[in-house]
Amino acid sequence: MGEFVRVETADGIATIRLDRPKMNALNAQVQEEIAEAAAQVDADAGVYAAIVYGGERVFAAGADIKEMADMSYADMAARSGRLQACFTAVAEIGKPVIAAITGYALGGGLELALCADFRVAGESAKVGQPEIQLGLIPGAGGTQRLPRLIGPARAKDLVFTGRHVAAEEALAIGLVDRVVPDAEVYDAAREFAAKFAGGPALAVRAAKQAIDHGLEADLATGLEIERLQFASLFATEDAREGMRAFSERAKPKFTGR
């Protein structure tokens, strides 16, 4: 368990909890602790889904600007690869990941939320990539994951202007998947995550990898990725159990093997 990031697990759901007062600024230590938490969640066979949560008031207001202010080009050239890798560790968790967004998810905060498979936001949440207002651009995946999610024109609007986007607009453009009252954000994320508890974890992992990796390739390559993942599942006990249960009109009991 890290100083600012901890993993709490209950009922097959892991919560990666950010807790760096006051705004969950994502300094280098927090980034490393996020990567460690992601590795822990990915490796835990008892976890079927994960939630990334910053608490009732804020998801994450962005990078620690004070930490970066005195960095040179050489400093950031050496550091930026690790920054991206820490967030990518969340994207590569082989289980469904839900970002539960309260308050602000700005800059690195939004980039972290973009690493999740789904995003649930509170009604008063604000998201955005304001780096341009500092004379910078997003450096933890914002220029890549954002256009893949909402399209290049909308992504350019957010990145070029640095404006904050309210929850309802974020829902309308596909940046978040659900908007709920602020007090219900975490519960809504848990309700979503609970759908995966006890499910065929190997198949879910294969589906996530096929979709994510296929999006980075041409159609023919994507289809080959799908074919290999599909065929590999015939080596699992879960697939045999699922097909047996279907034939017998019974409820399958998946074991993750």
Question: Which positions are annotated as active-site residues?
Answer: 63, 108, 111, 131
Task: Tell me which residue of 222, 119, 225 sits closest to 179, measured CA to CA.
Answer: 119
Task: Tell me which residue of 194, 202, 188 sits closest to 10, measured CA to CA.
Answer: 194
**What are the helix (H) ranges across the chain?**
28-43, 65-68, 73-91, 108-114, 142-150, 152-161, 167-172, 185-194, 201-214, 219-232, 237-247
- Find out whether the peptide bond into 95 is cis, omega within 30 degrees of 0: no
**How many C-beta neighbours within 10 Å does residue 78 have?**
11
Q: What angle do CA 67, 68, 71 make, to 5 degrees?
A: 115
Cβ partners under 8 Å of residue 29, min gap 6: 2, 3, 4
Element (DSSP H or E) covering residue 165: strand 165-166
**Do residues 126 and 91 make contact, with C-beta atoms less than 8 angstroms apart?**
no
